[in-house]
């Protein structure tokens, strides 16, 4: 989940599309402005992607959630 400075949504979304390991980024409604899906292993590769998101100009805050188990369907 990504909190973005007002008015920077399009710029942040475009910047994030170029981050290696980031599979999807969507603008959403609610407490946060965007949700990003990361696919990276091992943990240090995942941490690099999260760090790149946090350093993106216009990003104010992030909330990271991990998928514990992926089931088919």
Residue of 63, 53, 60 whose CA lies nearest to 13: 53
**In the chain, pLDDT over 90 holds for what percent of residues?**
82
* pTM for the predicted model, two decimal places: 0.88
Domains with residue ranges and CATH for the chain: 2-60 (3.30.70.920)
pLDDT digits over 36-70, tens only?
A: 999 988 889 999 999 999 999 999 999 999 888 88
User: Is 22 in contact with 49 (CB distance < 8 Å)?
Assistant: yes
């Amino acid at each position: 989940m990504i909190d973005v400075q007002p008015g920077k949504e399009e710029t942040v979304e475009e910047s994030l599309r170029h981050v290696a390991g980031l599979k999807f980024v969507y603008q959403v409604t609610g407490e946060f402005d965007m949700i990003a899906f990361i696919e990276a292993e091992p943990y240090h590769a995942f941490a690099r992607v999260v760090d790149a998101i946090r350093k993106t100009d216009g990003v104010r805050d992030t909330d990271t959630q991990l998928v514990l188990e992926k089931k088919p369907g």
